[in-house]
Chains A and B, each alone.
Chain A
């Protein structure tokens, strides 16, 4: 199973111009980056642009990554966040009129914490074997019951429960590993 340490090695290889490492890194983080961009920008086109900017920035600046300063996941999160903020800022600058209404959402600190937590969870999910990841995503975010998941995947109900338990246990370990 890939680990946070492997992510660090991948980024270091990308810093030396290794395209294969770059492709691995993209496969590993494309969904978390795109999901975060989509959540914060609320628009597929902008999210795609921000995700692309993120990976272009990773390619350009991977050589500046220092493993001793923090985890690879945290570094990638910072790069993605920067690209997304740039896109959001452009959107604000292009806005003609800003409606005057009270902002009832969580404050910036809370939003940043939520964003970081979501990033960690989504990044950790990418490290699960496909069969466990799919079951967990269906269980928590599709609204399907266990029986419906079993039917959807065409596997016995017991298999769904086993994969869920194994996946959750594995996820617990991964989240502990990538914790900063």
Chain B
């Protein structure tokens, strides 16, 4: 191993003065910059392949951040427990469409009023036809934009027909779809609906 070879060692010494000037300029440029990446990680290529398709984009960091956000929202909801035992004031209902990975699934999202003080939307999710997940697995309700994951609204598991109440603090007009998937990288969309 040695340093970068001398210019003449690289190109030989039978160049015309014009060629030598042109190549020496590029040689000098190459010596002044760091080397390029040796290779692009396969995980990056796989993630970029999902861009623009009907699958949410997951990165390691986004996945962790989304799960943390969902856990925070869930903790907030269960901690406050304001709706426990109360009727739900649904102002709009969004029917969800099953994806090819869960053709038997059904779901709807009932949107309640937006809390004037906090800006949180109250939501009630009703799902049926999804399998119960064992161990530490669970589902996530997302908001998506341009076919990509954009924000997590909450996590849940199911046991037959299941009703889950959640909150979301997002401006819903900025998103174009609701999506349910399992909480794992590269999970396909199971149910979706336009916002």
A105 to chain B, nearest CB (A): 14
A151 adjacent to chain B (CB < 8 Å)? no
B173 adjacent to chain A (CB < 8 Å)? no
The answer to whether B61 and A165 touch across the interface, beta carbons within 8 angstroms, is no
The answer to whether B34 and A172 touch across the interface, beta carbons within 8 angstroms, is no
A148 cross-chain contacts in B, Cβ below 8 A: 1
A172 to B18, CA, bound (A): 13
Interfacial residues of chain A within 148-171, with CB under 8 A of chain B in the complex: 148, 161, 164-165, 168-169, 171
A58 to chain B: closest residue by CB = B51
A60 to B45, CA, bound (A): 17
B26 adjacent to chain A (CB < 8 Å)? yes
B58 to chain A: closest residue by CB = A52
A118 to chain B, nearest CB (A): 4
Number of interface residues of A (CB under 8 A): 47
A23 to B59, CA, bound (A): 19
A111 adjacent to chain B (CB < 8 Å)? no
The answer to whether A144 and B37 touch across the interface, beta carbons within 8 angstroms, is no
A67 to chain B, nearest CB (A): 22
Residue from A26, A140, A146 within 8 A of B35 (CB atoms): A140
The answer to whether A52 and B52 touch across the interface, beta carbons within 8 angstroms, is no
Comparing A2-10, A29-37, A74-82, A95-103, the segment that makes contact with chain B is: A29-37
The answer to whether B26 and A118 touch across the interface, beta carbons within 8 angstroms, is no
Number of interface residues of B (CB under 8 A): 43
The answer to whether A164 and B10 touch across the interface, beta carbons within 8 angstroms, is yes
The answer to whether B52 and A22 touch across the interface, beta carbons within 8 angstroms, is yes
The answer to whether B51 and A59 touch across the interface, beta carbons within 8 angstroms, is yes
Interfacial residues of chain B within 1-41, with CB under 8 A of chain A in the complex: 1-5, 9-12, 15, 19, 22-23, 25-27, 29-37, 39-41
A13 to B170, CA, bound (A): 32
A178 adjacent to chain B (CB < 8 Å)? no
B136 cross-chain contacts in A, Cβ below 8 A: none
The answer to whether B36 and A137 touch across the interface, beta carbons within 8 angstroms, is yes
A26 to B45, CA, bound (A): 8
0/1 string, A50-79, CB within 8 A of B gives 1: 011001100110000000000000000000
The answer to whether A143 and B29 touch across the interface, beta carbons within 8 angstroms, is no
The answer to whether B10 and A161 touch across the interface, beta carbons within 8 angstroms, is yes
A22-B51, A168-B23 in contact; A137/B35 too (CB < 8 A)? yes
Interfacial residues of chain B within 72-92, with CB under 8 A of chain A in the complex: none
A175 adjacent to chain B (CB < 8 Å)? yes
* Most chain A CB atoms below 10 A, which of B5, B36, B62: B36
A139 to B8, CA, bound (A): 12
Given contacts A125-B36, A146-B5, 16 further A-B contacts (CB under 8 A): A32-B36, A38-B37, A49-B61, A49-B62, A56-B148, A59-B52, A117-B29, A117-B32, A122-B33, A139-B10, A141-B34, A143-B1, A144-B2, A148-B1, A165-B11, A165-B23
| Chain A positions near chain B (C-beta within 8 angstroms) | 17, 19, 22-23, 26, 30-32, 34-35, 38-39, 44-46, 48-49, 51-52, 55-56, 59-60, 114, 117-118, 121-122, 125, 136-137, 139-141, 143-146, 148, 161, 164-165, 168-169, 171-172, 175
29 pairs, CB–CB < 8 Å, chain A vs chain B: A19-B52, A22-B51, A26-B45, A35-B36, A48-B47, A49-B59, A52-B47, A52-B59, A56-B57, A121-B30, A125-B36, A136-B30, A139-B10, A140-B30, A143-B3, A143-B4, A144-B1, A145-B2, A161-B10, A165-B15, A165-B23, A168-B11, A171-B26, A171-B30, A172-B22, A172-B25, A172-B26, A175-B26, A175-B29
